[in-house]
Amino acid sequence: MLVYLIRRLMQSVVVLCVMSLLVFLGVFAIGDPVQILINPLADQAEIDRATAALGLDQPLWRQYWLFLVNAARGDLGRSFVYNVPAIGLILERMPATLELAVTATFFGVILGVPLGMLAGLKPASPVGKSIMAASILGFSLPTFWVGLMLIMVFAVELGWLPSTGRGAATCSLLGLKFSLCTVDGLRHILLPALNLALFKLSLVIRLSRAGTREVVLQDYVKFARAKGLPQSRVVWLHVFKNITIPIVTVLGLELGSTIAFAVVTEWIFAWPGMGKLIIESINVLDRPVIVAYLLVIVFMFIVINLAVDVAYSVLDPRVRLSEQRA
C-alpha cells in the first residue's frame, strides 16, 4: 500500500510537471500582453520598460525556469491586470466556485436519487418512461442554453429570482464568504446551482435507475418482501442502501468536472468564482492568472483522482493496489 502510494505520488508529480510545461508553453504562445495592457500612445522606450517589468524580455526557457522556481515557493506570478499575486486571486475566488459545485451536486442527488429509484421500481410505467426521457433530454441540452432559459423564465418573465451575482448579504466564516447562510444568498445560488446540477441530475437518475433494477431482483429484497415488510421500508432500507455505493463513487469523480464546467455557469450568472475569472483573464491575456488557474485545477484533479483510487482500495478489498502495475 505504501509503495503504491509513493508510486502514485511520484506519478502525480510527473503529471503536474508535464502539465505545467504544456500550460506554460500554451499560454506563452498567445498574443503579446504588453500590447493590450499599455496605453496605445506609448513610445518604444515605455513599451520596453513594461516588457522588462513583466519579465517578458527574458528567453523562454529562463522564464519557465523562473516560473518553476517561484511556483515551488508558492508564487505563481502577479496578475498583469490586478497587480496582486495570481494564486491569491484564484484562492480568493475558489470558495464561491466550490460552494456552487457542492450545492449543484447536492441538488443532483436530492432530486436524482428519488426520481431514479422511482423509474427503476416502475420501469414500464408512464412515470418511469417519462423520467428516462427527461434524463436523455438532460444529457442533450446544452448547459449554457439552459442557463439562459432559466434566467428568461425565472428572472425576466416571472421575476422570482435574481439572475446575477451572489447577493450582497453574504456571511463570512473563517474569513471566507458564503451565500448559503442567508435567504438572499440562497435566492442567488438557486438558479446557477440548478443549471450546473442538470447534467449531474441526469447521470444520478440513470445510475440509481440501473442500480434499483438490479437490486430489486436480489434475494434479500425478495426475502424482505416475503417477510411482509412495508414497501417503504424495503425501498428505503434494502434498496436505497445498496445503490448508494456506485453513486457516491461516480459523484466523487464527477466533482472535478463539476468544478470545471462551473466555468460556463459562472459566466452566465456572473457568479464571482474562479471560472468567471479565467474567462475574463483569457480575454485580456492575463497570463499569470491563466497559468495559476490551470495549475490549481490540475492539482485538484490529481488530488481527487488519487483520493478516489485510495478510497476504492480501502472500500473494496478486491482491488489489490499493491499488485497493480503502477
Partner 1 sequence: MSAIPAGVERAGAAETPFRRFVSDFCESRVAVAALAMLALIIAVALLAPWIAPQDPYDLRQLDLLDSKMPPGSVGGGGMLHLLGTDAQGRDMLSAIMYGLRTSLAVGVGASFGAMFIGLAAGLIAAYFGGLIETVIMRTVDMQLSFPSILVALILVAGLGQGVDKIIIALMAVQWAYYARTVRGTALVERRKEYIEAARCLALGHRRVVFRHLLPNCLPPLIVVNTVLVASAISLEATLSFLGLGLPITKPSLGLLIANGFQFLLSGKYWISFFPGVALLIIIMCINLVGDQLRDVLNPRLQR
Distance in Å, CB of 125 to partner 1, minimum = 18
For 214, the enclosing helix (H) or strand (E) is helix 183-215
DSSP class of 78: B
Spatial separation of the C-alpha atoms in residues 103 and 255, rounded to whole Å: 11
Q: Is 27 in the site for partner 1 (CB under 8 A)?
A: yes
> How far, in Å, CA of 7 to CA of 13, rounded?
10
Task: Answer yes or no whether residue 26 interacts with partner 1 by CB under 8 A.
Answer: yes
Question: Which of 96, 109, 290, 292: binder of partner 1 (CB under 8 A)?
Answer: 290
CB atoms under 10 Å from CB of 84, counted, come to 12
Question: What does the angle CA 125 – CA 127 – CA 130 come to, to the nearest 5 degrees?
Answer: 110
- From the list 263, 274, 277, 292, which residue makes contact with partner 1 (rule: CB under 8 A)? 263
Distance CA 288, CA 66 (A): 13
- In the complex with partner 1, the residue whose CB is nearer, 110 or 319, is 319
Cβ proximity of 241 and 150 under 8 Å: no
Cβ-based nearer residue to partner 1, 39 or 283: 283
* Choice from 30, 68, 181, 311 touching partner 1 (CB under 8 A): 30
Indicate the DSSP class of residue 158: S
Q: Are 186 and 180 in contact (CB under 8 A)?
A: yes
Contact 265, 147 (CB under 8 A): yes
Told to check if 312 binds partner 1 by CB under 8 A, we report no
The minimum distance between CB 26 and partner 1, in angstroms, equals: 3
The binder of partner 1 chosen from 94, 101, 235, 298 (CB under 8 A): 298
By the rule CB under 8 A, 270 interacts with partner 1: no
Q: Is 192 in the site for partner 1 (CB under 8 A)?
A: no
Q: Which residue stretch of 14-22, 86-94, 200-208, 240-248 sits at the interface with partner 1 (rule: CB under 8 A)?
A: 14-22
Q: Counting contacts by CB under 8 A, is residue 4 touching partner 1?
A: no
* Residue 267 makes contact with partner 1 by CB under 8 A: yes
Give residues 135-164 in contact with partner 1 (rule: CB under 8 A).
136-137, 139-145, 148-149, 151-152, 155-157, 163
Answer for which of 58, 63, 244, 257 binds partner 1 (CB under 8 A) is 257
Given the rule CB under 8 A, which of 44-52, 100-108, 201-209, 263-271 is the region that contacts partner 1?
263-271
In total, the chain counts a number of residues equal to 326
Contact 34, 57 (CB under 8 A): no
Residue 57 makes CB contacts below 8 A (sequence gap 6+) with 48, 51
Assess 264 for contact with partner 1 (CB under 8 A): yes
Using the structure block, give the residue that is written with the C-alpha cell 513610445.
43
Cα 304 from chain centroid (whole Å): 11
C-alpha angle 200-260-206 in degrees, rounded to nearest 5: 15
Q: Is the CB of 242 or the CB of 305 nearer to partner 1?
A: 305
Q: Which residues contact partner 1 (rule: CB under 8 A)?
A: 15, 18, 22-23, 25-27, 29-31, 136-137, 139-145, 148-149, 151-152, 155-157, 163, 256-257, 260-261, 263-264, 267-268, 278-279, 282-283, 290, 294, 297-298, 301, 305
